[in-house]
């Protein structure tokens, strides 16, 4: 049986000031749940509320030798929770305000996943271009990769502009169909 269970708060506080671990444990057991409930009701984030209460008890232990409680222990702890909650809410408010000012409300950084998806899409496009008929592939690469106009391609390959247009149209139709299937698989 825990003999400290019957001690009053002032008795426990005196023992705590002298570094008594058992007295600290009794104070913790006596008040942890009450403080957690108060913090959780105000913060609405259980992890944050737990962190607040834990910080209060760590601070209580660290400051035990210089602790001067002028009111009751429960009032002291209640005020501690109040100020920690205010500080946490202020921090949340300023973080939200900063995030809003950047125009990034609710945006997560998934740039790595986007890069992987882009890389996979690029590989798929290269395979599709590689599967085009030789002349169609050549016309597509000259147009899209080298940036040549249809007229320049026609002059270089000694074919009509209509033929260049037909090759590009066929390439785009094939690539669009292949990429649509690929995009459906990604989703």
Is the model more confident about 122 or about 54?
54
Give me the half-sphere count of Cα atoms (radius 13 Å) on the Cβ side of residue 93. Answer: 7
Q: Which pLDDT tens digit goes with each residue over 66-100?
A: 888 878 888 889 889 999 989 888 888 888 887 77
- Whole-angstrom CA distances from 137 to 69, 93, 123, 125, 178 are 83, 56, 16, 12, 15
Whole-number mean pLDDT of the chain? 85
Q: Which pLDDT tens digit goes with each residue over 11-26?
A: 888 888 888 899 899 9
Mean pLDDT of 149-162: 92
Confidence of residue 10 (pLDDT cuts 50, 70, 90): confident
Confidence of residue 52 (pLDDT cuts 50, 70, 90): very high
Paired tokens of 151: 């007229």
Domains along the chain with CATH numbers:
3-101 (1.10.1740.10), 111-186 (1.10.10.10)
SS3 98: helix
CA atoms of 146 and 68, how far apart (whole Å):
78
Cα Rg of the chain, angstroms: 35
CA atoms of 7 and 141, how far apart (whole Å):
86
The predicted model scores a pTM of 0.52
- Whole-angstrom CA distances from 23 to 16, 67, 139, 140 are 6, 14, 84, 80
| Contacts for 120 with CB less than 8 Å, ≥ 6 apart | 186
């Amino acid at each position: 049986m825990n003999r400290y269970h019957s001690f009053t708060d002032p008795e426990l506080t005196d023992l705590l000031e002298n570094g008594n671990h058992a007295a600290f444990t009794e104070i913790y057991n006596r008040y942890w749940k009450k403080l957690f409930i108060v913090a959780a009701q105000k913060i609405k984030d259980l992890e944050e509320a737990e962190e607040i209460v834990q910080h209060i008890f760590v601070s209580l232990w660290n400051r035990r030798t210089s602790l001067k409680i002028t009111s009751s222990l429960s009032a002291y702890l209640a005020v501690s929770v109040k100020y920690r909650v205010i500080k946490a809410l202020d921090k949340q408010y300023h973080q939200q305000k900063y995030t809003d000012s950047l125009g990034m409300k609710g945006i997560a950084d998934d740039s790595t996943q986007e890069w992987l998806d882009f890389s996979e899409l690029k590989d798929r496009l290269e395979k599709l271009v590689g599967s085009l008929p030789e002349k169609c592939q050549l016309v597509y690469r000259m147009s899209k990769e080298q940036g040549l106009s249809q007229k320049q391609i026609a002059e270089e390959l000694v074919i009509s502009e209509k033929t260049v247009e037909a090759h590009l149209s066929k390439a785009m139709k094939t690539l669009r169909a292949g990429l649509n299937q690929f995009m459906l698989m990604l989703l």
